[in-house]
Structure 1
């Protein structure tokens, strides 16, 4: 058996559902990294510092999920624009120095890239980039939710030629709190309630739902009987269990293109892999996303 010399993991609470170990270990195999291993650990905000304090130089990095994306911020230095701008990181990279009591920690946000790549690759794969109907939709996006992932979704929209963002949320105060973020990226913004979604969804080029599992089910039920007209945009629902979600099913039945959260998960993991293994992006195996996608399809 090959000795494990290099470690990484995903932390969060709950964590048993995570597909990150499958993604990263599949990639290690494709990259020929036989002495690398990635697993999961249930860690909350109070125990995060202690967990990191017990690591040794075999550890190269961590993936962070709820509720740790903000908790990690005081423990390291932001290393990319999105971690700096949003104040949340889903990736911690360790720099071990002789004589130091612990590692230096570089913090990255790869969720923004994950959302962008999930959407742009799906549009290209399904020929929507060349679809005249899609192209004539207003440069508008609908973000459903108001948490950390919604902030990453707003940032991602700024990289996809979106000019106006509508935030739909269960709690108006939280939606209004993150609304100024869109303006910092040069986009106009408004806030609506979840029950207003059927009224506008037909004019949105991009729809991103960041709600927890089943939280958008009532919205899906409201969309189906509503006279939305044909939906010609794209929906990303960040949930991958259940798959497809009721919201995805409703969007597809109205004619739209809908993708699940496994696509975002895949594409946010690829830059993590590059950072953790010290591999240039251009040196990653060709079609690595396809290799990982096949592994995901076997378990989903």
Structure 2
């Protein structure tokens, strides 16, 4: 039940619209900070955005208990795939990677699923003037790597090489490439340092996974996109001699699109980024 899973007290006005981020664990999520900053900037004083710890077993019941005040939901692991059978419609973008991170409730009550991670990645790259590259490296595999491949279909004009830790992961990445219509070459993780020479390197790995590659950062690098945002910078990002895009940039741009879908109004990315940076500084202190 939503209120039983509530991580924060709900203080919004009854007439206001509601939104939230769901996942498990969820206490670390920056989404409330980003969305609330957007609401303040847009003058949506009666809107509230909370967070709920919800796992795969609880998502169906959570959705069933929502009323007409709810505008939408942000989803993180482990719900991005689990929610799909519970939706009335899934966007082509979300279907392409079998991952929904945004649910918007229509006026008729229909549940509409989308994935803003993919266009969020593209927007974050475009913000630093990366619009087209001849080749790219993806570090890691899994759901985030699949989204990275989908983003690269719009950015990379040539070969994509994925560095992974097992043959099973290699097969998965090649399979995602086939599904998305791009050729993906896979290499063993032990050779990942070679991939750092690509004009665009997307690291989709958890905290600490690329620390060993920091000493292999090229003297003159292309652009590194590291999806980690806390702690920041990662060892690889700190050692990088080129353009760097961080996980907070991704969070901001995907959240901008979520707010726009839920409210019908587009917030300023800089306002949300400033709020996220302030929160990360507070956590570090």
TM norm structure 2: 0.88
CA distance in 2, matches of 1:123, 1:172: 34
Q: 1:241 aligns with which of 211, 219, 230?
A: 230
Cα 1:75/1:218, change in 2 over 3 Å: same
Q: Match for residue 267 of structure 1?
A: 253
Tell me the CA shift for residue 229 of structure 1.
Answer: 4.6
Return 5+ residue gaps in structure 1 as ranges: 98-102, 130-134
1:205 Cα deviation (Å)? 1.7
Match of 2:200 among 199, 206, 218: 206
- Greater shift, 76-85 or 204-213, is seen at 76-85
Q: Does 1:122 align with 2:132?
A: no
Question: Could you tell me which residue of structure 2 aligns to residue 187 of structure 1?
Answer: 182
Of 209, 220, 223, the residue aligned with 2:214 is: 220
| Shift of residue 172, structure 1, vs aligned partner | 2.7
Displaced runs of 4+ in structure 1, greater than 6 A?
none
CA distance in 2, matches of 1:55, 1:246: 42
Which residues in structure 2 correspond to 1:96-135 (within 5 Å)? Answer: 96-97=107-108, 103-123=109-129
User: Residues of 1 paired with 2:69 and 2:152: CA distance?
Assistant: 37
Q: Distance in 2 between matches of 1:194 and 1:249?
A: 21
Indicate if the aligned counterparts of 1:216 and 1:247 stay in contact, CA closer than 8 A.
Answer: yes
Q: Is the 8 A contact 1:112 1:156 kept in 2?
A: yes
Number of matched pairs: 269
Aligned match of 2:165 = 170
1:291 match: 271
User: For the residues of structure 2 that align with 1:3 and 1:186, how far apart are their CA atoms?
Assistant: 47
Indicate whether 1:3 and 2:13 are aligned.
yes
Question: CA offset at residue 2 of structure 1?
Answer: 6.8
The 3-state SS of whatever aligns with 2:231 is coil
CA distance in 2, matches of 1:201, 1:95: 44
2:77 corresponding residue in structure 1: 66
Aligned position for 2:30:
19
Residue 58 of structure 2 aligns to a residue in which SS?
Answer: helix
Tell me the equivalent position of 2:98: 87
Where 2:275 maps in the other structure, the secondary structure is helix
2:57 counterpart SS class: helix
Once the two structures are TM-superposed, the CA of residue 219 in structure 1 deviates from its matched residue by 2.7
Alpha-carbon RMSD across the aligned residues, in angstroms, is 1.9
Residue 123 of structure 1: SS of its match in structure 2? coil
Equivalent in the alignment of 2:3: none
**Equivalent in the alignment of 1:77:** 88
TM-superposition CA deviations, 1:102-131 (whole Å, max 9, x none): x3210001110111111110237xxxx7xx
Task: Provide the C-alpha distance between the structure 2 equivalents of 1:120 and 1:243, rounded to a whole number of angstroms.
Answer: 21
State the TM-score, normalized to the length of structure 1.
Answer: 0.84
Say which SS state the counterpart of residue 129 (structure 2) adopts.
Answer: helix
C-alpha distance after superposition, 1:50-94 (max 9, x if no partner): 111111111111100011100011011344221121111100111
| Cα distance, 1:159–1:77 mapped onto 2, change above 3 Å | farther
Residue 69 of structure 1 aligns to a residue whose secondary structure is helix
Shift of 1:296: 1.6
Partner of 1:100: none
Aligned to 1:43: 54
Instruction: State the SS of the aligned residue for 1:296.
Output: helix
Deviation, structure 1 residue 218: 2.1
> Alpha-carbon deviation of 1:168?
1.0
| Structure 2: runs of 5 or more not aligned | 1-10, 281-285
Shift of 1:177: 1.4
